[in-house]
A and B are shown apart, each in its own frame.
Chain A
C-alpha cells in the first residue's frame, strides 16, 4: 500500500483551483500554500517564454512529493517529520522545534513552508474540515495529502476539485487503482528523480 498521485500536465490549465481547494480545506494561514502552481515559461507566474507567435508555457503543480526516500525525514533532528506506512510524509507540529533543516534538505524548494508568525487568516473564522490539525506559529508545515480525508476513504481536496481531472490519486501498489490505471501506457516524469528521493508524484506528459 503506497499512496501516489498522477498529474496530467497536458490537462492542467493553471487555474489554481487545486491550490485554493487545498488552502480552504486545510484552513491554511495567510501566506502559506501547500499546493502551488508553478509556471514553466516566462520569468513571472502565468507568463510564456518566447516571442509571439512562438510562445511556450506549461504549468507544474507542486506540492510535497511524498518521497519514498525523503531527505526531510532523515534531516529532521527530532523526528517531527516522518513517513507513514502508506507512504504519506507527515509533519507533526507539536514536535517541530522550528529549525527549518527539513526546508534546507527538501529539493522541491518551497513545498515546505514556515509560519514566520502567529497564524493569521483571511477571514475571521476557520475554514475547511474541522478535523484539520490546528496551525501553529514558528513550525514548518506542508501537504499531508489531506490525511483527514484519506483516512476516511476520501480523496484529497485537490483531486476532487480539479475541473480538468488532471490529478489522479490512489494506491500505486494496486494495479487496478485509478492512479495505476492512469499511469499505465503513459510517459511520465518524476521531478528531480536523479536526487534519489523516489517521489510519489507522477507527472504525465
Chain B
C-alpha cells in the first residue's frame, strides 16, 4: 500500500465540527418533530422556507455536478477534467442527493408517511416528477462512478463511458423539471413563466461548479489531488457565465414587473426591490455582482468567488420563494391576518439547515478520504501519469 494512503486529506477538527453541527441539526429535528412545525417561522402564507431553499440548492448541485462530470467525457474542451469526474460525482451528486432528500424530509409535517410518494403517487404532481428525478440522479451517479471505476481497473472499455455520460448529461438537464414545481403554478405569477426552467438550470450549474471549485481547491491544498489554478479558474469562468445568466433573469424580472406599475407581478417586484424585501434583494444583487467580479478576476480568487457565487444562488432561491409567498393573489385583510412581512427563519430552521449541510460535508469528507486513497494508488490523480488513472485511461 502506498504510504500516501494513510494521509488524512482533511483536518480532523473540520470533521469533528461538522459532525457536531450535524448532531445539533438532529436535536433541532427532534424538537421540531415533537412540537410540530410551529417551531419554524413558516405560516399560512410563507408556507415554504429555508428547507425548500436547501432542497433547491442541493438538487441543483446534484444536477450541475452530473453535467460537469459527464461533460468531461462528452466534450473535448472539458476532457481535462476527466480525472476529477469520479470525486466530483461522489461529492456533487451522491452526497448532494442525500442532503436534498434530508431537506425534504425535515420540511414534511409527516415524514413517516414519506412512503406514500411511492404507494400513493399522483403522477400529475410536479413534486412527484421531482421525486423521480432525484432518484434518477442517485442511480445515474452511482452507475457513472462504478463504470468509471471499472474502466480504471481495465474491466471495461473506456468507450463504455460515453453511454452513461450521455445519460448523466441528459439527467442533469432535467433540473428544469425541478423548476416545474414552481413554474407550473397558476397561483404564483412570479414563478408561472418560462424563464424559471432556464434560471434553475443556470443556478444548478453555478452552484455545482462553485462547490467543485471549493472541493478541488481543498484537495489541491491538502495535496490529495492536484488541480492547476488554470483548471480552477476555467471552472470559475464557466460558473461566472451562468451567474451572469442569473443576473439577466433578476434584472429582467425587475424591469418587467416594475415597468407597467400594475398587474400581478408589479406588487411582488415592488415588494422585493423597494418594499419589505428590499434588504434581501439588494444583498442578492450585490452578491451576484461580487460573485461575477471575483469569478472573472484574473488573480487566483476562485474559492472566494465560488463561495460568494454559492451565497448569491442561496439569495436568488430565498427571494424567489419569499417574494412570491409573501405576496399572494388575495391579500384582503381577514383572519388569519395577512402580513406582507419578509420571512426570516427561526433558530430551529437555521440549526437544521446548518446541521443538514454539515451532515452532507461529513459524508463528503468520508467519501473524499476513501476515494483519494484509491486515487493515490490506483485511480490516479495526476493526469500526467496514466497508470490506472480513471480519466486518462478513459480518454485513451
Contact = CB atoms under 8 A, between A and B. Distances in A.
A97 B336 contact: no
A118 B122 CA distance: 27
B334 A37 contact: yes
A69 B159 CA distance: 50
A98 interface: yes
Interface in A89-117: 95-101, 103-110, 113-117
A130 interface: no
A192 interface: yes
Interface string A114-158: 111110000000000000000001110000000000000000000
A116 B116 CA distance: 21
Contact of B334 (A36, A78, A138): A36
* Residue with the highest number of chain A CB atoms closer than 10 Å, among B104, B114, B121, B330: B330
A138 B186 contact: no
A195 B336 contact: no
A182 interface: no
Interface string A50-79: 000000000010100000000100111111
Nearest to A191: B330
B36 A116 contact: yes
B44 A113 contact: yes
Given A31-B336, A33-B336, A78-B120, A95 B113 contact: yes
Interface stretch (A4-12, A38-46, A172-180): A38-46
Contacts of B38: 116-117
B125 A77 contact: yes
A43 B334 CA distance: 10
Contacts of A99: 104, 107-109, 127
A10 B186 CA distance: 29
Nearest to B43: A116
Given A62-B334, A109-B328, A137 B47 contact: no
A106 B187 contact: yes
A37 B54 CA distance: 36
B45 A114 contact: no
18 contacts: A33-B335, A39-B334, A74-B125, A75-B125, A76-B122, A78-B113, A78-B120, A80-B116, A97-B109, A97-B113, A97-B114, A101-B127, A104-B187, A107-B328, A109-B330, A116-B38, A116-B43, A195-B187
Q: Which 9 A-B pairs have the closest CB atoms?
A: A98-B109, A138-B109, A109-B328, A107-B187, A38-B332, A117-B36, A38-B334, A77-B127, A116-B38
Interface of A: 19, 31, 33, 36-40, 42-45, 47, 60, 62, 71, 74-80, 95-101, 103-110, 113-118, 137-139, 191-192, 195-197
